[in-house]
Structure 1
Amino acid sequence: MKLRFILAVMAALIIQGCAQTPLSPKGEAVFYALQADTMLRTWVSQCRDVSPRARQAGLTARNNWWERNGPFVEGADFGLAYNIVTVTDTRADTGARLAMAMTWEVTERAEETVTKLMDKAGDEEGREELCIKILGQYNQGKWDLHGSDETYNELVTLQRRSVNDAEILDLRRGMVELKTQRQYGRSLYVVEKLSKREGCPNAEVQLLKGEWPYEIYDVSCPGANHLLMRCEWGNCLVLQ
Structure 2
Amino acid sequence: MRIFAVMLMASMAALQGCSSSPLSKTGEAVYYALQTETTLRAWVDACDDLSAETRQAAYTAKQNWWKRNGAFVESADYGLGYDIIYVTEERAETGARLAMALTWQVVETAEKEVNSLLADAGNREDLCLRVLGQYNKGDKDLHGNDELYNSLVGLQRRAERDGKDLEMKRASVQAKTGKVFGRSFYVVEKMAKRNGCPGAEVQLLKNAWPHEVYDAKCPDGSYLLVRCEWGNCLVTD
Paired position in structure 2 for 1:37: 37
Gap runs ≥5 in structure 1: none
Change (3 A) 1:171 1:18: farther
Matches within 5 A, 1:1-240: 1-17=1-17, 26-122=26-122, 126-240=123-237
Distance apart, 1:229 and its partner CA = 0.4
Distance 1:2 1:90 in 2: 24
CA deviations over 1:157-176 (Å, ceiling 9, x no partner): 11122122111101111110
SS in 1 for 2:84: helix
Distance 1:196 1:3 in 2: 19
CA RMSD of aligned residues (A): 1.4
SS in 2 for 1:146: helix
Distance apart, 1:235 and its partner CA = 0.4
Q: Which amino acid aligns with 2:157?
A: R
Change (3 A) 1:59 1:17: farther
State which drifts further: 153-162 or 37-46: 153-162
Moved over 3 A (4+): none
SS in 2 for 1:219: strand
CA deviations over 1:208-239 (Å, ceiling 9, x no partner): 00100000000000110100000000000000
Question: TM-score normalized by structure 1?
Answer: 0.93
